[in-house]
Amino acid sequence: MLRAITDREFVRVADLAETFGISDVTVRADLAALARTHGVRRVRGGVMAPVKDLSRTERSFEEQVVEHAAEKKAIAEHVAAQVAPGMSVLLDVGTTTAAVARALVARTELEQVTVITNGLNIALELEEAVGRFAVVVTGGTLRRLQHSLVDPLGSVLLEQLHADVAVIGCNGVDAEHGITNINLPEAEIKKVMVAAADRTVVVADGSKLGRVHLGRVAALDDVDTVVTGASASAHELARLRRAGAEVVPTG
């Protein structure tokens, strides 16, 4: 049970009961024992892995960029196709959002787009399109792992803006717990982006579905569309749709 919790980072009581063929009452008793001995954390409806395990799961941009690369490209092309001339786009940090930046640049007919980003590497991806695009970097304090700009001062510019769409990356999308992120400073910037846009599109490869992390970004009701990939499980897609989310699988 501990291995299942650590691997998935969040697991529902009902899922553990089904997996191990035991009752919800027995699961709760086992979780109480694991909380005492291994530091798992009970949350509403389930259990989360110990903080020490969660903290080890954030890897660098360079480590993550090779994973699900084809899937991220398909997600990015779908999102980029929705951007029209004259639009303003808040483009969050992450490997999938970096793929969105590349897909936007590849649309050579697209002009008069303003892209605001808190990712230094994403700004560099967009540099080739400067002239067709206006590229604005938010400022703030640099985080090395994701080349991201966060508070202090990371949200000052964003709080003065109103964009057409925010494209948000994340580490978890769950029907009950919504959109979450492993890093708290980045989660705070993502929240500001969601509040600053008319529409929010969450981009997440299939491995992110059903996962829950420490930093809450938004409830499902606060986002307009979740764009995911071919590896998304049918079970998680169904759960998200039952919760009222508009989910678009690509690829």
Domains defined along the chain, listed by start: 2-55 (1.10.10), 61-249 (3.40.50.1360)
Structure tokens at 2: 């501990």
**pLDDT computed for residue 57 by the predictor:** 58
Phi-psi region of 186 (alpha: psi -120 to 50; beta: other; left: phi over 0): alpha
CB of 61 closer than 8 Å to CB of 146: yes
CB of 150 closer than 8 Å to CB of 185: yes
Residue 123: pLDDT above 50? yes
First CA to last CA distance, the chain: 33
pLDDT tens digits for 150-185? 999 999 999 999 999 999 999 999 999 999 999 889
How far is residue 223's CA from residue 203's CA, in Å, rounded to a whole number?
Answer: 11
pLDDT tens digits for 209-246? 999 988 999 999 999 999 999 999 999 999 999 999 99
